[in-house]
């Protein structure tokens, strides 16, 4: 026993001596300074264009006059915030933003998810990739281009959609000039642009599912619908929760680029959102203080929703950034 113990101890000492010793990591600035130098331009740009303008938030609490500047302009406290909630049109703008954003959130989650599930059932790879590319293509186009396309396509005089409706005896519809149709047009056109990207996200989540689960389900007699319901969707639940909760942070971002390129005074009642309202009031009309107050209100609510979204994503999907 003593000899055996000595042999074991000798082997252990040899094995420990053969293990490479870990060196303490030190911050070697001499070797890493090029990487830090590459970051400096990005930091400077962020400080100038993102953190620098934040000083302008003070305008929300002043009766700002450009010729007086920030220092000499009169301080009015929460006057502009109170005016915002007393003004009926401001409340209508907030309501429009919420309605459009919630519709985009709901359909922007359901439609790509359903499309990804259907596309996953296609076994012909060339056809699958072709469809995926066609659906994904509008995502790379700006709303300036898509807005011009939609104005021509939806034109009540010569648009292809109204020509198609005319074949069935339906009168032309002014999609971009009617309060009854504008929100629907905005949501559908947003799906047209964004569905391709979200579909790729969900398809990537589907590829992670263990194929052995489907094989076991086939042995148990499960058809494709039951496999999707009991295997695919539960496996995709974390990414669905992440996408949905992160969208909460954008609940007040109804899409300035899209609305600005599509709306007109005829649809202000149902189509004017916070961002376009701030643009017209703050920049076009020159009421900088009131426009800043509305924008600050939106930013605070968005920050709260982002924090809530991250908390929900971490709680239900165990996902976090930091």
Mention every residue, 6+ apart, whose C-beta is less than 8 A from residue 321.
310
The whole model's pTM is what? 0.78
User: For residues 62 and 21, what is the distance between their CA atoms, to the nearest angstrom?
Assistant: 63
Report the domain count for the chain: 1
Quick one: CA dihedral 218, 224, 230, 236, positive or negative?
Answer: positive
User: For residues 226 and 232, what is the distance between their CA atoms, to the nearest angstrom?
Assistant: 9
Contacts for 39-46: CB closer than 8 Å, 24+ residues apart: none
pLDDT band at 155 (very low <50, low <70, confident <90, very high): confident
**Helix (H) / strand (E) containing 63:** strand 62-63
Range of the domain at 132: 75-317
Q: Cα–Cα–Cα angle for 136, 139, 141, nearest 5°?
A: 125
Does 13 map to a domain?
A: no
What confidence tens digit (pLDDT) does each residue in 4-56 have? Answer: 444 445 545 544 454 455 555 566 667 788 888 889 999 999 999 988 888 88
pLDDT band at 1 (very low <50, low <70, confident <90, very high): very low
How many Cα atoms occupy the beta-carbon half-sphere of 43 within 13 Å?
6
Helix count and strand count (H, E) for the chain:
16, 2
Mention every residue, 6+ apart, whose C-beta is less than 8 A from residue 249.
302, 305, 306, 309
**Helix (H) / strand (E) containing 74:** strand 74-75
User: For residues 106 and 316, what is the distance between their CA atoms, to the nearest angstrom?
Assistant: 19
Query: What is the mean pLDDT of the segment spanning 258-268?
Result: 89
Does 282 map to a domain?
A: yes
CATH of the domain at 228: 1.10.3720.10
Task: Provide the token pair at 260.
Answer: 């600005």
What confidence tens digit (pLDDT) does each residue in 212-247 have? Answer: 888 888 888 888 888 888 888 888 888 888 888 777
User: For residues 81 and 290, what is the distance between their CA atoms, to the nearest angstrom?
Assistant: 8
pLDDT value at position 36? 83
Does 114 map to a domain?
A: yes
Does 156 map to a domain?
A: yes
pLDDT value at position 319? 64
Mention every residue, 6+ apart, whose C-beta is less than 8 A from residue 304.
none
């Amino acid at each position: 026993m003593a000899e055996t113990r000595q042999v074991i101890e000798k082997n252990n000492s040899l094995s420990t001596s053969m293990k490479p010793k870990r060196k303490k990591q030190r911050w070697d600035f001499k070797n890493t300074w090029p990487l830090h130098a590459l970051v400096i331009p990005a930091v400077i740009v962020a400080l100038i264009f993102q953190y620098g303008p934040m000083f302008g938030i003070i305008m929300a609490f002043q009766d700002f006059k450009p010729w007086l500047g920030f220092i000499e302009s009169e301080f009015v406290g929460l006057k502009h915030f109170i005016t915002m909630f007393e003004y009926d049109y401001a409340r209508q703008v907030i309501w429009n933003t919420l309605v459009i954003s919630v519709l985009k959130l709901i359909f922007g989650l359901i439609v790509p998810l359903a499309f990804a599930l259907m596309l996953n059932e296609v076994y012909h790879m060339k056809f699958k990739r072709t469809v995926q590319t066609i659906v994904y293509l509008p995502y790379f186009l700006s709303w300036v281009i898509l807005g011009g396309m939609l104005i021509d396509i939806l034109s009540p005089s010569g648009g292809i959609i109204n020509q198609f409706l005319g074949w069935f005896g339906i009168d032309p519809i002014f999609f971009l000039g009617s309060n009854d149709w504008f929100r629907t047009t905005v949501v559908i056109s947003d799906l047209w642009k964004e569905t391709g990207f979200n579909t790729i996200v969900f398809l990537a989540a589907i590829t992670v599912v263990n194929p052995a689960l489907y094989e076991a389900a086939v042995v148990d007699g499960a058809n494709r619908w039951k496999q999707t319901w009991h295997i695919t969707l539960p496996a995709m639940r974390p990414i669905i929760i992440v996408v949905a909760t992160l969208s909460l942070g954008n609940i007040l971002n109804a899409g300035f680029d899209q609305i600005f390129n599509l709306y007109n005074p005829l649809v202000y009642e149902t189509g004017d959102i916070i961002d376009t309202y701030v643009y017209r009031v703050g920049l076009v009309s020159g009421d900088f203080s009131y426009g800043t107050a509305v924008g600050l209100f939106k930013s605070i609510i968005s920050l709260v929703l982002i924090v809530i979204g991250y908390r929900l994503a971490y709680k239900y999907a165990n996902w976090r950034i930091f």
